[in-house]
Amino acid sequence: MAHEAQKAIARQSLLLKSLPDQHVDTLLSHAIWRSYDRGETIFLQEEEAKAVHVVLAGWVKLFRMSPTGAEAVVSVFTRGESFGEAVALRNVPYPVSAEAVSACEVMHIPSPLLLSLMKEDPEIGVSILASTFTHLHSLVAQLEQLKAQTGAQRVAEFLLNLCDAKPDGCDVELPYDKMLIAGRLGMKPESLSRAFSRLKTVGVQINRNHAVISDIERLRDYAESDPSDK
Amino acid sequence: MAHEAQKAIARQSLLLKSLPDQHVDTLLSHAIWRSYDRGETIFLQEEEAKAVHVVLAGWVKLFRMSPTGAEAVVSVFTRGESFGEAVALRNVPYPVSAEAVSACEVMHIPSPLLLSLMKEDPEIGVSILASTFTHLHSLVAQLEQLKAQTGAQRVAEFLLNLCDAKPDGCDVELPYDKMLIAGRLGMKPESLSRAFSRLKTVGVQINRNHAVISDIERLRDYAESDPSDK
DNA sequence: CTTGCAACATGACAATAGTCAAGTTGAAGC
DNA sequence: GCTTCAACTTGACTATTGTCATGTTGCAAG
């Protein structure tokens, strides 16, 4: 069953962290805990949602297949992040598919349980809205990036997010393979390669899945500069 | 104050239509009713959300300004549609700005009222999640379009949505001006013009803000065909 | 160790979209 | 009615990205 370490991660997730301990215990004890291999499907687009999912370890991608078979990556989640909240509570089909992109551990909270707890304590609804809002926000940010930035600039932002609040000069590991990064940023792997070489001119070195950023501010300027004057 | 006609529209909105009449009456009687001129700001990005907004007439756009000043249109709402749900209940700043793109009527439901009603009846939380999910879904669809379709194909889908379920051969009015359509579809006005002329070859005629689609199925095929084999 | 494969890089080319500039047109204001 | 302006269209050009082909590399199965 579930290890204590996993439960600890689940408790820190955005979905659960603001809930009273009592409810969290109920949810954790009724949750389903599962491992997935790399490449395994967690659920498919159009399938009916029966649970909310919390990633405890590894990486999960949400993606959509267009009628032509092209795949558009919508988001990528890792430890402590949850998805499927808004869908699970409405008994509607998933708008996306979910797949493990590395070996991973996922906790599934059955939606009927969540619904019944919600009737007792409206605070749960607020918690769910909180994580749903976070997703909404990140989709909006992605839309802005796609519409207003070039490929290389999106890659720059992606790298900046990886080194987050670190001070100056920065080494980061790329969290998943370049094909997935390309999908997440809405470009082909070849374009990602070229974007990386372009970023060499603003002090970024890529070696395998390791990136060295010599000057974070310079990279930030590049990401936020007007695409037309470069 | 509010006309009965406006209240009737509000009752039919996705946000309110599944709520018990009693709650709806409470909400309507405490709501703020306002008119906006074309171009007027409804709220600004980073402002703190104090209400949920329901459009009763006219058109409203949500957009984001990137640091460089480029504007990315996130969505466009009209009669019966609501926005700001997830944000209002969390006391967080709006991730987008809202502006009237035509003269319009908007109802504002103060969020504290919604929160207190939600504590009495969790059904309200479900209703809010319902409309939030709708937005989430439409953002996901937009992302897929941007990542997997060419400009002309996005325009084709936009036209198809306008004539919705009508049978065969179809006249539609473009709901707002072409600059806004271009923004909504993530392209420049010039590119929209060219996309329209390209669609002539699949039986679409554009005249001012009026579009004639001679064969809906042909347009659908075009929109869903692989961009690489055309 | 070797074979085979998938990820990744790079070059050449085509398609697509953005930029800049020059027109046209239609509607609002005078 | 005329003026003016912004929306829109079109053309020429450029930049960016996708496509296809080729080659390298590193890892894992045998």
pLDDT digits (tens, 9 = 90+) for A128-151: 999 999 999 999 999 999 999 999
Q: Give dist(CA A58, CA A107) in Å, integer.
A: 12
The answer to whether residue B229 scores a pLDDT higher than 60 is: no
Q: Which residue's CA lies closest to nucleotide C14 at its C1' atom?
A: B228
Tell me the three state secondary structure of residue A71.
Answer: strand
pLDDT at A228 (0 to 100): 62
Best mutation target among B48, B87, B142, B144 (most A Cβ atoms within 10 Å) is: B144
Residue written as token pair 């460089």 = B68
B40 exposure class (CB count in 10 Å sphere: 0-12, 13-18, 19+): middle
- B66 in A contact zone (CB under 8 Å): yes
pLDDT digits (tens, 9 = 90+) for B173-228: 999 999 999 999 999 999 999 999 999 999 999 998 999 999 999 999 999 987 65
- Asked if residue A51 lies in contact with residue A32, where contact means CB atoms within 8 angstroms, the answer is yes
| Residues of chain A by 3-state class (helix, strand, coil), percent to 5 | 45, 25, 30
What is the value of pTM for the model shown?
0.93
* Bridge partner list, A20: none
Structure tokens at A58: 């590894």
For chain A of 230 residues, list the mean pLDDT of each consecutive stretch of 10: 85 93 95 94 95 96 90 96 93 95 95 91 89 95 95 96 77 94 97 96 91 91 76
- Asked if residue A54 lies in contact with residue A157, where contact means CB atoms within 8 angstroms, the answer is no
pLDDT at B225 (0 to 100): 85
Q: Give dist(CA B45, CA B65) in Å, integer.
A: 8
- Asked if residue A82 lies in contact with residue A89, where contact means CB atoms within 8 angstroms, the answer is no
- Asked if residue A54 lies in contact with residue A13, where contact means CB atoms within 8 angstroms, the answer is yes
Q: Give dist(CA A104, CA B36) in Å, integer.
A: 50
User: What average pLDDT does range B72-83 have in this prediction?
Assistant: 96
Backbone angles phi, psi at B99, to 5 degrees: -140, 140
Structure tokens at B16: 């309110």
Best mutation target among B92, B113, B114, B136 (most A Cβ atoms within 10 Å) is: B136
- A95 in B contact zone (CB under 8 Å): yes
**Cβ within 8 Å, pair B64-A144:** yes
Find the closest chain A residue to B133 by CA distance: A86
CB < 8 Å to A71, chain B: 148
Tell me the three state secondary structure of residue B190.
Answer: helix
pLDDT at B230 (0 to 100): 47
CB < 8 Å to B118, chain A: 122, 125-126
Q: Nearest 10 degrees: CA dihedral of B155, B156, B159, B163?
A: -160
Q: Which residue's CA lies closest to nucleotide D18 at its C1' atom?
A: A188
Q: Residue A200: count other Cβ atoms within 10 Å of its Cβ.
A: 10
The answer to whether residue B153 scores a pLDDT higher than 80 is: yes
pLDDT digits (tens, 9 = 90+) for B60-70: 999 999 888 88
**Cβ within 8 Å, pair A186-B92:** no
- B46 in A contact zone (CB under 8 Å): no
DSSP B34: E
pLDDT digits (tens, 9 = 90+) for B154-169: 999 999 999 876 666 7
DSSP B186: T
DSSP A227: G
Residue of B74, B126, B147 with shortest CB distance to A186: B147
